[in-house]
A = this chain, B = another copy of it.
Amino acid sequence: MKKVLQNTTIDTLSIDCLIFGFKKNELDILLVQHGEGISKGKWALPGGWITYNESIDKSASRILNDLTGVSNIYLEQLKAFGGVNRYPTKRVITIAYYALVKPENYTLHPGFTATDAKWFRLSEVPHLPYDHNMILLEGVKYLKHKVRHEPIGFNLLPKKFTLLQLQQLYEAILDKKLDKSNFRRKLLKMNFLEACKEKQTAVSHRAAGLFQFNKRTYNNLTEKGFTFEL
């Protein structure tokens, strides 16, 4: 792991990452244990300082990777938290980022100032330092809203997936049964799924066609006022 220590940090501005994992119909959150600083030993959201020569988006990716080893995920900005006393020793404004991933796809490598990194069930999250519990609550609230309006769950599946896998994912998130045939028709008509030429292998029944999510097509659609509803 490469660290960019030569870059100066902006010491009033930090990033905190909300990495949600979806596993066994439960939402998990990725926390790290601080190895130094004022909250040494405590579990907290992976976070760190923005540097002068990085966009805030890039800072978020770097910080997450340095602390947990998780890389190559699509982080989106949630919002900034800027209460005067949210940080104990000085004034710090933090920008929260979030992502929803499949925990199995990542092996955690705690690093930099983190001595450990672990998935916590939302119901078992301990008391977190600063305003991290509040940030987490905001993130959960936003996620539940968002999952109903955008195809946010595609990164929980392998790059190439069958329509049934996709359907089961939505059934789990929305907590209701969907009709296979109608689900298929509806999703395909939206035009942001493209059929790979391949088929499923190693299954003991007829192999299903594999599809992948085309983000470019999806973005085109959203610009034209398309809305995603299931």
A143 CB within 8 Å of chain B: no
- Bound CA–CA A56/B10 (angstroms): 17
Interface residues on A, range: 20 to 34
Which secondary structure dominates chain A's binding surface? loop
Which of the residues B5, B50, B91 comes within 8 Å of A93, measured between beta carbons?
Answer: B50
B50 touches A82 (CB 8 A): yes
A4 CB within 8 Å of chain B: no
- In the bound complex, residues from chain B placing their C-beta under 8 Å from that of A229 are 227, 229
- In the bound complex, residues from chain B placing their C-beta under 8 Å from that of A90 are 1
- Bound CA–CA A131/B59 (angstroms): 19
Q: A residues 70-100 with Cβ under 8 Å of B?
A: 77, 79-80, 82-84, 90-91, 93, 95
A-to-B contact residues, CB < 8 Å: 1, 5, 10, 12-13, 50, 52-57, 59, 77, 79-80, 82-84, 90-91, 93, 95, 144, 148-149, 225, 227, 229
